[in-house]
Amino acid sequence: MKAGDLPDIDDKATPAPPQEGLPGYSIVAPGSELSTLPSAELFEMNQVAMQDAEQPPDIPLIGLLTKLSDLQEEYIRGNQTFVKQISRLVQQGYLGVRRTRGDGDCFYRAFAFAYIERLLKAPEPFRETLVQDTLTVLGRSVQLLQNVGYEALVYEDFYETLVHTIKRIINARPDVPKLTQRGLLDAFNDTPISNSIMIYMRYVTSAQIKVDPFSYAPYLYNPDEPYADEPMNPADFCNHFVECMGKEADHVQITALTTALKVNVRVAYLDGHEHGKGPTADPDTSPINFVSFDNGEGEELEAVTLLYRPGHYDVLSRMSEDPQESF
Amino acid sequence: MSRRLQKELRDLQLTGCPTGIALLKADDFQTWILSLEVLGNTLYEGEKFALRFVFDNSYPITPPAVMFVVDDENQAPIHPHVYSNGHICASILGNEWSPVLTVSAVCITLQSMLASCKSKERPPDNNRYVSHAPADPRKTRWDFHDDSV
C-alpha cells in the first residue's frame, strides 16, 4: 500500500519550487540513461515535458478517448522507457487513453468517470442489477460519512448529483435524458456536476480513513514533507490532503476509496523505470507495473483501469476511440 | 442560487449560531455579515468584530471571500494573521478550503485563531500588503504564516 519508490507529488499548475540540496535533484545531462534516474528526477522531467506541451487552460476536465500511440509520440524524443512501456500496454490490448486535466483532482475525476462508465458499458441483461448494486453501496457510503461526523448539508447535494447521474443509466423518465457515453462525457465536463461528483469521492475516501484509522495511520505521510520521521494524525491528513480540492491521491487514498466503494482498480504505472531487473531483463519485454487494488465484490464488472504517469492519472481503455452515437 | 447556502441559513436560523457568533445580515445569498466575539480569557476580551462573507455561484466548491469589516464602527482585530484592511491570511480560506467547511465552521476556526493569540500585533508586512492588496482577498497568493501563532 505504501508509495514504494514513487515520489510524493501533486500535479497542480504550479509545481513546487525545487528543493535545493534534495538528493537527486539536478538537471539531467542530455543523453543520460533515464531509466536509472531517481524517481524525483523523472517526476521533474515529466512536469517539464507536460508544461512544454503547453496544455491550454481550457483543456477538458475529461477528454475524448485518444489513441495510446498518440501519447507515445509525445515521449518519442524523450524517455525511451516510457515509449517502451506504452508499447507494452498497447500489446496488452490497452489502445486508448482518456486524458484528464492536471488540476490535482485527476485521480478522483478519472476514477469516478470510469466507475460510472463501466456500468454504462455493462451488458444489457446485467446492467440494471449492477446499477442497483452500485447504488446500494453508495447508500452505505452516506452512513459512513454520518458515522465520522459529516453534517448532511455538506454532502447531500454532491451525493444527489452522483446518484442522479448513475440513475440516468437505467432511467426512462421522459424529462431526464438517458445517459449515453456522450452524455457522461458532457456531465464530467460540466464543472458543477463534475466537481460535485469528484468531491463526493474525496469525502468517501476521507471517511474511510477516519473510520478505520489504524489500518491507514502508518502510511499517512505529509506529501509536502517526504522526509518526515513521523506519520500524520489521520484526521489532520484527511483535512489537509483528502478533503481539499487540488490535492493529489496516492496509494493510501486509492486503497481507502476502493475499499469503501468496493471497486477493483488497476493502475498502470508508467514510471519510467524498467521492471524485472537483472542482467536478463530485456527492456522490450519488461512488464508493466500494474498495481491492483482488489476491493471489489463480484466479478461481473471489469476493473477500473487508470494510467499513471508521475504526478498524473488518466483513464486507460481497451477502446481507441469513443463509440459513434446517434443523437 | 446555492441550495447549500439556503440550508446553512435555515440551520443558523433554526438552531442558532455558535456561541459568540451572530448573524447581522443575510438578506440575500451573495453577502452575509456576522458578528464575532472571542469569549473567555483572551487578548480580545470585550471586543466585537464583524465578518463579511461574499459568496459566488460556485460556493461551496470555491471558498467564500471572508474578511473583517473595517468601517466607522468596526475594526479588524490586531492579530499576526489579520491585516488592517480586514484581510485574513488563513489557509482554510485559500488552498486548504474544503466544502466540508460551512460559514459556521469558518467562524469557529477564526474564533479559535484569535483565542490562541499570544501577542496582539499586525503582520510584519501589513503596510506593504495593505497598500497593494486586491479588493478580493482570494486573489492574494498568501505565503501562509506559521499556523501555531
Structural domain count, chain B:
1
Domain with residue A132: its CATH number is: 1.20.1300.20
Task: Please report the pLDDT score of residue B22 as a whole number.
Answer: 97
Task: Please report the pLDDT score of residue A81 as a whole number.
Answer: 85
Residue B92 lies in a domain: yes
Reported as a single tens digit per residue, the pLDDT across A136-183 is: 999 999 999 999 999 999 999 999 999 999 999 997 678 888 999 999
Q: What is the dihedral of CA B77, B82, B85, B89, to 10 degrees?
A: -150
Segment A255-274 shows an average pLDDT of: 91
Task: Please report the pLDDT score of residue A28 as a whole number.
Answer: 35
Residue A247 lies in a domain: yes
Segment A185-214 shows an average pLDDT of: 97
Residue B7 lies in a domain: yes
The grid coordinates of residue A246 equal 487540488
* CA nearest neighbour of A253 among A266, A269, A237, A264: A237
Tell whether the model's pLDDT for residue A26 goes beyond 80.
no
The reply to whether residue B61 touches residue A157, judged by beta carbons under 8 angstroms, is no
Which structural domain range is residue B90 located in? 3-130
Residue A116 lies in a domain: yes
What is the band of A20 on the pLDDT scale with cuts at 50, 70, 90? very low
Q: Strand A312-317 to strand B31-37: parallel, antiparallel, or no bridges (unpaired)?
A: unpaired
pTM of the predicted protein model: 0.84
Cα dihedral sign, B82-B88-B92-B94: negative
Task: Please report the pLDDT score of residue A300 as a whole number.
Answer: 75
Tell whether the model's pLDDT for residue A54 goes beyond 80.
no
Segment A308-318 shows an average pLDDT of: 94
The larger pLDDT score, comparing residue B10 to residue A57, is at B10
Which structural domain range is residue A178 located in? 34-317
Number of residues that make up chain A:
327
- Looking at the complex, report in whole angstroms how far the Cα of residue B93 sits from the nearest Cα belonging to chain A: 11
- Dihedrals phi, psi of A282, to nearest 5 degrees: -105, 120
Residue A111 lies in a domain: yes
Query: What span, in angstroms and rounded, lies between the C-alpha atoms of A318 and A114?
Result: 12
Give B4's contacts in chain A (Cβ within 8 Å). Answer: 153-154, 157
Residue B93 lies in a domain: yes
Domain with residue B12: its CATH number is: 3.10.110.10
The H or E element that residue B114 is part of is helix B103-115
Mean pLDDT, chain B cut into blocks of 10 residues (149 residues total): 88 94 95 95 95 96 96 96 95 94 97 95 93 88 62
Structural domain count, chain A:
1
Query: What span, in angstroms and rounded, lies between the C-alpha atoms of B66 and B63?
Result: 9
User: Got the DSSP string for A159-222?
Assistant: HHHHHHHHHTTT---TTSPPP-HHHHHHHHTSHHHHHHHHHHHHHHHHHHHHHSHHHHGGG---
Cβ–Cβ under 8 Å, residues A97 and A123: no
Cβ–Cβ under 8 Å, residues A258 and A265: yes
Active site residue ranges of B: 89
- Looking at the complex, report in whole angstroms how far the Cα of residue A176 sits from the nearest Cα belonging to chain B: 21
Interface with chain B: mutation pick from A109, A145, A154, highest number of B CBs within 10 Å: A154
Indicate the range of A19-23, A294-298, B14-18, B113-117 predicted with least confidence.
A19-23
Q: What is the dihedral of CA A149, A153, A157, A162, to 10 degrees?
A: 10
Segment A294-305 shows an average pLDDT of: 84
Task: Please report the pLDDT score of residue A261 as a whole number.
Answer: 97
pLDDT, mean over chain A: 82
The larger pLDDT score, comparing residue B89 to residue A78, is at B89
Residue A26 lies in a domain: no
The grid coordinates of residue A182 equal 456522450
Residue B79 lies in a domain: yes
Residue A2 lies in a domain: no
The reply to whether residue B100 touches residue A240, judged by beta carbons under 8 angstroms, is no
